[in-house]
Structure 1
Amino acid sequence: MMNSQKGLTIGAFAKASGVNVETVRFYQRRGLLSEPDKPYGGIRRYDEVDVARVRFVKSAQRLGFSLDEIAELLQLEDGTHCSEASVLAEHKLKDVREKLADLKRMERTLSQLVHACHSKPGHVSCPLIAALR
């Protein structure tokens, strides 16, 4: 994929990681990714480890973890702290289940309101608008 001796420029690194350059810089500012040293008169180079780290961040984001939570997971990334990682995942799972319950409640309410709107054609007061007041 890449020559690990030379490494990747920030543009090539971003592309290999599936993000854009500004995302790389943002992750660096947030402390999720270190900024490589810049050789005198040269440009910073990234390697496979950096690509894997960004992919880890993106995978965790897809599971709903915040950047702060991802920072905690990155501290456990060596895989020897499974119980600590499990606690973080349990909290995230609880949050996801609460959000699902909220979404189901919203779906039921909206479905009832849509049904009410369709069952009273020509009625002066819209049930949806009335319910939101």
Structure 2
Amino acid sequence: MKIGDIAKRTGLKVETVRFYEGEGLIAAPRRSGGNYRLYDQSHLDRLTFIKRSRDLGFTLDQVRDLLRLADDPRGSCDAVDEMAVLHIAEIDHKLAGLQTLREEIVKWGRCDATTIAECRLIDALSSRLP
């Protein structure tokens, strides 16, 4: 597969595929006589793994760790479990923060004012609270 093909099949941008290659997350593909990158099934599988990991919110460093662990199929799953538990805690923390933000916006976001001068949200944002 050429880079455009693998990008399309994985849902990644061509630039992202190149980036992951540059970061060493995927092996450099072989080159055609015309110097085109030629990707195989192993590249597709690895890029799919990376994309799915990123979609789940793992950082590049975490993806790197997950790939290292996945490359040793006989290794212990404990490290993956620990990463998952920590990631869930991070997600829970973010959700709590988002809930707080939502409550704050709901609190100040609806008012009966007809002008900006009377708008409670603008007042809250500019610290002009009564």
TM-score bracket, normalised by the shorter chain, equals 0.7 to 0.9
In the superposition, relative to structure 1, how do residues 83 and 37 fare at CA in structure 2: closer, same or farther (>3 Å)? same
Deviation at 1:129, TM superposition (A): 1.9
Q: Which runs of 5+ in 1 are unaligned?
A: 1-7
The answer on 1:73 being equivalent to 2:66 is yes
Structure 1 length as normaliser, TM-score? 0.80
- Specify the code of the residue in structure 2 equivalent to 1:110: I
Deviation at 1:44, TM superposition (A): 3.4
In 2, Cα distance between equivalents of 1:10 and 1:33: 13
Deviations 1:76-133 (A, max 9, x none): 1144331101111111111100010011111111111023x23x55694422122222
Q: Which moved more, 1:70-79 or 1:120-129?
A: 120-129
Matched residue SS, 2:29 = coil
CA contact (8 A) 2:30 2:39 kept: no
Deviations 1:5-45 (A, max 9, x none): xxx22222222222222111010112211112436665432
Q: Kindly report which structure 2 residues correspond to 1:36-115, keeping only aligned pairs within 5 A, or say none.
A: 36-38=29-31, 43-77=36-70, 78-79=72-73, 80-115=75-110
CA contact (8 A) 2:29 2:38 kept: yes
Instruction: Give the number of aligned pairs.
Output: 124
In 1, Cα distance between equivalents of 2:32 and 2:116: 74
Structure 2 length as normaliser, TM-score? 0.82
Match of 1:15 in 2: 8
- Specify the code of the residue in structure 1 equivalent to 2:26: L
Q: Which runs of 5+ in 2 are unaligned?
A: none
Larger relative contact order (Cα-Cα within 8 Å, sequence gap ≥ 6):
1
In 1, Cα distance between equivalents of 2:115 and 2:54: 47
